[in-house]
Chain A
Amino acid sequence: MSFAGRVAIAGIGATEFSKDSGRTPLQLALECVKAALDDAGLTPADVDGLATFTMEENEEIAVQRFLGIDHLTFFGRVHYGGGAACGTVQQAALAVSSGIADVVVCYRAFNERSGRRFGRAQPSPGAVEAPTNWYVPFGLATPAAWVAMFARRYMHLYGATSEDFGRVAVADRKHAATNPAAWFHDQPITLAEHQASRWICEPLHLLDCCQESDGGVALVVTSLERARDLAKPPAVVRGAAQGTARHQEMMTSYYREEIGGLPEMGVVARQLWRQSGLRPADCQTAVLYDHFTPFVLVQLEELGFCAPGEARDFIAGGRIELGGELPINTHGGQLGEAYIHGMNGIAEAVRQIRGTAANPVPDVENVVVTAGTGVPTSGLVLSRDAR
């Protein structure tokens, strides 16, 4: 694999995370891209590539124009929303390693709370689009509902409970409580509070569901060789993979023989471990996409941290909390920090490798990061520079 180990994330940047940014999505994009370049010690004049993913309002050429970037030789937009967060880094890594571009910035910026809200019924009534035609006319119309259908089957198959899902929320909010950048800073929750939170779509409680957030996050990708000469220690891209699986749909892959897993994440995981030469036990922390808590359990299984159906035992006893064997989502995840479609999780992995996270895990060498689940997805393995 030509890019693995030869490309790095050299800069990260973000706006504040809020419920009402008070400015346009384009301004959020420009702010976070500029911040990521500042972090790397680069300027817009160094950028020749931009990568983002669908459901992004900000055109690559608008970002280019207002940053005063002279020209781009690479621009790519990966499909399937949050599932593509890590896919942007793969696009950038492919472009950099093949010589198409030198510096590619990946970005996501939106007013997802004060503008178009993601948790609402989709699409708006009266305009059912073909891919959702078998669900929306029956009221199965929200991301929470689409995931709840998988979650119920998972509970039936393996005996998992709502409390098991709640332990993910408790861990995320515990980590957010000590992360000043998190929306839910200083607001931990108990499992009892999770259980008492109102139903959104059974078996999902309110506290199983991520936030809707305003904000932006950007990542600067360049060659490892160049990154070594920049301002911050590189986070080496050891693995970057995308995946779909048989009978793939967008949030509604209900026609597979069994639906207790996320086989597209298995496709991603096998590539990540093969590219990196690593295995789950080599990762000191993980950032697992948490738009809804049940899929965090399934991801632990698909990534190989435990066997199918065993995640509820794996996460027991605080194993996924700070101080446990595998702390996950140390920034607070998308339940606790913000829902920037996974890009804030990639930034957290970089901070863990640099040792600059608000909740640092000791001696981090490798971090596995995943993107949106229930959809065509992607993942990364980021590592400390061995030099």
Chain B
Amino acid sequence: MARPPRPTRDRDSAFFWEGIEAGELRVQRCRACNALRHPPGPMCPGCHSLDWDWIVSSGRGEVFSFVVHHHPPIPGLDPPCVIALVEIEEGTRLVANVARIAPEDVSVGLPVEVEFHRIEGDDGWVVPRWVPRA
């Protein structure tokens, strides 16, 4: 199966992808007001500080919404497959694929946790994905 498109990264988002490679789900945090934000960016929209670091999420969350993709063909997808918007315990949301569950068993509110999935190949990379939580 064709591989999905590789994520890009820049100075604002590299920490996230480096975290994924290290087995951590990182969430950007404002060092001035401690607000979390995702997707990451240079300025805190609340207090306008440019000073930030990150926390490591528990990796647990619940499905906030989801889709079951059928058509058209998408590189890296084997339809029908689930892509979910998950709200993590720390309060931010992240879109990723859902694995290890049949599409018909997914619902809003489903408890999930992150796992780190390697895209194959010599130049492969790691992406987060969601799996059902016991």
Contact = CB atoms under 8 A, between A and B. Distances in A.
Which of B7, B66, B67, B80 has the most C-beta atoms of chain A within 10 angstroms of its own C-beta? Answer: B67
Interface residues of B, dominant DSSP = loop
Contacts of B92: 255
A202 B129 CA distance: 19
B47 to A, nearest CB: 16
B6 interface: yes
23 contacts: A121-B74, A128-B5, A133-B13, A134-B95, A136-B5, A137-B4, A138-B127, A138-B129, A139-B69, A139-B81, A140-B69, A140-B83, A141-B5, A142-B74, A145-B69, A149-B83, A152-B67, A152-B108, A153-B64, A202-B68, A254-B85, A254-B95, A255-B39
Given A133-B7, A254-B93, 12 more contacts: A133-B13, A134-B39, A149-B65, A149-B95, A152-B66, A153-B108, A202-B67, A202-B70, A203-B67, A254-B85, A255-B39, A255-B93
Contact of B8 (A120, A133, A153, A201): A133
Nearest to B16: A134
B95 A138 contact: yes
Given A152-B65, A152-B67, A202-B67, A137 B93 contact: no
Nearest to A209: B71
Interface in B41-89: 64-72, 74-77, 80-81, 83, 85
A138 B71 contact: no
Given A150-B65, A199-B80, A254-B85, A137 B5 contact: yes
Contacts of B94: 134
Contacts of A148: 67
Given A198-B70, A200-B70, A145 B5 contact: no
B131 interface: no
A310 B65 CA distance: 20
A153 B68 contact: no
Contacts of A255: 38-39, 92-93
Interface size class of A (residues with CB under 8 A): 35 or more
B97 A139 contact: yes
A259 interface: yes
A125 B69 contact: no
A135 interface: yes
A119 interface: yes
B68 A201 contact: yes
A130 interface: yes
A68 interface: no
A224 to B, nearest CB: 41
B2 interface: yes
A152 to B, nearest CB: 5
A200 to B, nearest CB: 5
